[in-house]
Amino acid sequence: MMKVRDNLPQRRTNPTKTPTGSNWSQHKPDLRVDFHKHCAYCGSYDGFSHTYFEVDHFVPKSLFTKTGNISLCQYSNLVYSCKFCNNIKLSKWPSNDETVPNINNMGFVDPCTTDYDTHLYRTKNGSISWVTDLGKWMVEVGFKFDERDYAVKLLWELNQLRKAIEILTLEAKKYHPNSENYNNILNKSREYSEQYFLYRNELDEYYKIM
Ligand SMILES: [Zn+2]
């Protein structure tokens, strides 16, 4: 089974900046690196400019500002997230206890743990599906991946093509521009680029009607 994200995000122990108060967005450049430029939840790539990427508080701000145990700028609670995942997740937190991310198969799993991938997976068409009941809750309620399936799949297809074109570009450099190998790679790359262009238009059209 494919994972939702290609690489597991890993938060650094010593962030570059030490913001306080409500300046948590100063952590965004570090988060972008630590989350490999992809949304921690849906795995979409931030380079398509389809949405603004945000800094999500894994334990929602509204919850812990009451108890005061977590600081707003605490790096270990921050997540690099696309606007869609962040906006749908909002302040959902079924346990109402900041130390309990999920209860009775409802709630969330820290996307920086391998545990995240035990609940969700990527289908061969690029959709996000579940393995467990908690995963089902995340798909249908927590992030509404099912409702967003069209965009989730398109963004995945685009990212696959982007990565393939990147590999071919590097590969082409190994050969002489007059060689057959070079031309084969170039043709393949053109084919992917055309497909990429079509998907890219499809995505733009989709977000226009949103
Ligand atoms: Zn997302």
Do 116 and 99 contact (CB within 8 A), yes or no?
no
pLDDT band for 49, please (50, 70, 90 cuts): confident
pTM (predicted TM-score): 0.93
Using the structure block, give the residue that is written with the tokens 């696309």.
Answer: 82
Complete DSSP assignment for 76-96: GGEEEEEHHHHHHHTT--TT-
- Which residues lie closer than 8 Å to 3 by C-beta, 6 or more apart? 117, 121, 122
- Whole-number Å distance, alpha carbon 146 to ligand 1 midpoint, is 13
- Which residues lie closer than 8 Å to 50 by C-beta, 6 or more apart? 44, 151, 155, 203, 207
Q: How does pLDDT run across 66-97, given as a tens digit for each residue? A: 666 788 999 999 999 999 999 999 999 999 88
User: Is the confidence at residue 50, as pLDDT, over 80?
Assistant: no
Q: What is the pLDDT of residue 90?
A: 94
- Whole-number Å distance, alpha carbon 188 to ligand 1 midpoint, is 30
pLDDT band for 51, please (50, 70, 90 cuts): confident
Q: What is the pLDDT of residue 151?
A: 94
Quote the distance between the C-alpha of residue 183 and its chain's center.
34
- Whole-number Å distance, alpha carbon 98 to ligand 1 midpoint, is 22
Q: What is the pLDDT of residue 15?
A: 97
- Whole-number Å distance, alpha carbon 171 to ligand 1 midpoint, is 31
- Whole-number Å distance, alpha carbon 177 to ligand 1 midpoint, is 40
Q: How does pLDDT run across 150-199, given as a tens digit for each residue? A: 999 999 999 999 999 999 999 999 999 999 999 999 999 999 999 999 99
- Whole-number Å distance, alpha carbon 81 to ligand 1 midpoint, is 5
H-type helices in 38-148, by residue range?
61-67, 83-89, 116-119, 133-137
Note residues around ion ligand 1 (Cβ under 5 angstroms). 39, 41-42, 82, 85
How are beta strands 120-122 and 128-130 bridged, if at all?
antiparallel
CA proximity to 46, closest of 87, 78, 5: 5
